[in-house]
Amino acid sequence: MYPNFLENETYIIDKKIDFSKLVRMQPILFLCDIHKIFHLKRLIAFSGEKVTIVDGKIYVENELMSDIDYGESKLSLIVSKNSFFCISDNFNSLGKNCDSITNGSISKEKIIGAILD
């Protein structure tokens, strides 16, 4: 999640997560099925929302999420039931690491908690 979160730093995680209170762009921690380790990613979209990446720009429900160029990633999907769409803050690694671009929606059962400010 570089540049916003650094390796070997300490962050406080709210493990008593109320999924109804999660907000877009909130950092969350989840267990990766592939590597069996925890990953820190940013929540972009909720269950049932349409996520599209076109010309390097990410849209949720046809609303542009940021002006950042996400590179060559192209995608169009509806976030699965009881799941979330999450990506890394390290835009150079989008689609190359364990994010929703690569692995699809992240089920709420895999979410450990939300990072507190």
In a domain, 99, yes or no: no
Identity of the residue numbered 8: N
21 or 56, which is more confident: 21
67 or 115, which is more confident: 115
Q: How many other CB atoms are there within 10 angstroms of residue 58's CB atom?
A: 24
In a domain, 63, yes or no: yes
Quick one: pLDDT at residue 77? 94
In a domain, 56, yes or no: yes
| Separate counts of helices (H) and strands (E) for the chain | 1, 10
> For the chain, what's the residue count?
117
Nearest to 73 by CA among 55, 46, 98: 55
Q: Contact at 8 Å (CB) between 115 and 25? A: no
Which strand (E) or helix (H) includes residue 112? strand 111-115
Give the tens place of pLDDT for each residue, 55-90: 888 999 999 987 777 776 788 999 999 999 998 877
Give the tens place of pLDDT for each residue, 41-52: 999 999 999 999
In a domain, 74, yes or no: yes
Where in the sequence is the domain holding 54, given as residue range(s)?
Answer: 48-80
In a domain, 103, yes or no: no
In a domain, 19, yes or no: no
| Number of domains composing the chain | 1
Q: Contact at 8 Å (CB) between 38 and 32? A: yes
In a domain, 73, yes or no: yes
In a domain, 12, yes or no: no
Residue 2 has pLDDT above 90, yes or no: no
